[in-house]
Amino acid sequence: MYLWIWRRLPVRHPAAKAAVALGLVLVAVAALWFWVFPWLETQLAFDKSTLHEGAP
Amino acid sequence: MIRGLIKGLGELFLTFGVAVILFACYTLWGTGQYTRGAQDDLHRELTEAWAEPPKVTTEKVRLGDGVAMIRIPKFGKKYRFVIVEGVSVADLRRGPGHYPETAPPGGLGNFVVSGHRTTYSAPFNRVGELRKGDEILIDTRDTQYVYEVTSLKIVTPDRVDVAEPVPMKPGRKPRERLITLTTCHPKYSAAQRLIVFGKLAEKLPRVVEQRKDA
């Protein structure tokens, strides 16, 4: 999978290719950190401290 | 073909593993960073508001605004959190939250505060260590309310009656000034709630340098 992505990066020079790959990784991490994880954390709710009628 | 499939699956599992580690970092450290920033803002806003002369108003504290400050001497001098008004997900991300329908700080009845135990700076991480007689200090504009812990209880999350004006006695008229802290139990689980009960022991004028803060 990663080799497949590496081969399809739109640059030829190895250093430029590594920079583009690093950029992609950073974009993926930022998406996880700022959107996916805050949403996931509310869904999992393993630190829920409030009381609710009808709660399990 | 099969080798390629196994390799692809291996890469997927590796990616999933890295994402799980990253998620653990987010919940245990990243959320705390968010709360620390929010607490700094709330503390600044509250101290600025308290420095101004009090306004005569019938307005309630707005949801999400700072309502008081909690200190627990047993947890050290540095332990201090601004309590926000409200207990929504967004409110509790900023700090411990006051149930708006319950008594105000120092008020007759039950002042109920909820807080995270493991994430978002974990303000109530150590409340399980509290014992009968330990102090919980609540600072407001002019007054420091000194509550003393009376008991701890572990309940199911549907026991909303712990937040009644007289805890676990719905409909009874309050005669005491109580405090109730609620948090998740056990740590990293939402299966139960740890409840700390306390009652007002002393009421002191609040001074900028706290008489009781350690």
**Interchain CB contacts (distance < 8 Å): A and B:** 76
| Residue A45 Cα to chain centre, angstroms | 19
pLDDT, tens digit (0-9, with 9 covering 90-100), for B71-81: 999 999 999 99
B82: containing domain = 29-205
Which of A1, A46, A51 has its CB closest to that of B160? A51
Would residue B48 count as lying in a domain? Answer: yes
The answer, yes or no, to whether the previous bond of B186 is cis (omega within 30 of 0) is yes
**ipTM of the complex, rounded to two decimals:** 0.83
Cβ contacts of B84 on chain A, cutoff 8 Å: none
Would residue B181 count as lying in a domain? Answer: yes
Would residue B166 count as lying in a domain? Answer: yes
Instruction: Share the mean pLDDT of chain A.
Output: 87
Q: What are the residues facing B203 on neighbouring strands?
A: B145
What is the rounded distance in angstroms from the CA atom of residue B122 to the CA atom of residue B190? 14
Domain count, chain B: 1
Phi first, then psi: what are they for B176, rounded to 5°?
-120, 165
Q: For a pLDDT cut of 70, what percent of chain B falls above it? A: 95
DSSP A40: H
At CA B210, angle to CA B208 and CA B214, rounded to 5?
150
Would residue B23 count as lying in a domain? Answer: no
Q: Residue B58's pLDDT is what?
A: 62
CATH number at residue B83: 2.40.260.10
Packing angle, helices A37-44 and B2-25, rounded to 10: 80
Q: Is B3 a catalytic residue?
A: no
pLDDT, tens digit (0-9, with 9 covering 90-100), for B98-126: 999 999 999 999 999 999 999 999 999 99
**pTM score of the predicted model:** 0.84
The arithmetic mean of pLDDT across residues B173-186, rounded, is 95
Would residue B36 count as lying in a domain? Answer: yes
Q: Residue B209's pLDDT is what?
A: 52
Q: For a pLDDT cut of 90, what percent of chain A falls above it? A: 43
pLDDT, tens digit (0-9, with 9 covering 90-100), for B24-71: 999 989 999 999 999 999 999 999 988 887 776 666 788 989 999 999
Would residue B35 count as lying in a domain? Answer: yes
